[in-house]
Amino acid sequence: MDAALLAAACDAGPGEAVLEAGCGVGAVMLAAAARRPQTRFLGLESDADALVLAHENIALNALGDRVAVQGADVGQPFSRLGLTPFDAALANPPFFDDAGALRAPHPAKRAAWIAAEGLAAWCAFLVKAVREKGTITLIHRADRLADIMAELAPKAGSFTVRPVHPFADAPAKRVIVRAVKTGKAPLRILPPLVLHDRAGGKHTLQTEAILRGEAGLGWE
């Protein structure tokens, strides 16, 4: 679900270049590429096994002409990668910094759940990865919203936040955050996305449309 929502939140235009930090096997950037047929994507991934699968998934989806992946770790400076800053960056950072904060995940899922570098390192990397006025979009736990904004704020602003609620009468569990490098506009909190309907439907109509690729997750 998080990957699908992050892909739907990508609104990069024709000819623009988008970076995904920590792309895993490529779910987010491939879904975003399907939605944005004139946009180029590069994924960075530090896990060797996930990197192999990402290459295979790109080939299976016949998107090798504008989607690529390379080995890299967000713990290293972006400047060392020899890449030109991107128009936009996407990320679904691991949700926890402290291995003691949750029951230990399966070893194969540890990197996806626990950030060895910490959220601060992810935010710093994303800011460096985009050009001035470039956008940074990430999905994370709702209770880390203040931390995300604080880590991005020295170099990015114009924050737009969309809360994601499991049900209309339940607190938000996720937030999708958009920031603009060197942006100065006031904070905007958008209407929430409600995932499920207690009346019986598995997903709300809006969520179903997003998951089927029939709708995006706009920023207005």
CB-CB contact of 11 with 216 (8 Å): yes
Across 74-85, average pLDDT: 94
Band (200; pLDDT cuts 50, 70, 90): confident
Output the pTM of the full model: 0.88
pLDDT at 106 over 50: no
2-9 and 27-35 helices, crossing angle to 10°:
40
> What pLDDT does residue 96 have?
55
| Rg, Å, the chain Cα set | 17
pLDDT at 71 over 80: yes
Mean pLDDT score of the chain: 91
Q: Architecture of 2-211 per CATH?
A: 3-Layer(aba) Sandwich (3.40)
CB-CB contact of 38 with 128 (8 Å): no
Which residues, in sequence order, are CB contacts of 166 under 8 Å at separation 6+? 173, 194, 195, 196
Query: What gap in Å lies between CA 57 and CA 44, rounded to an integer?
Result: 14
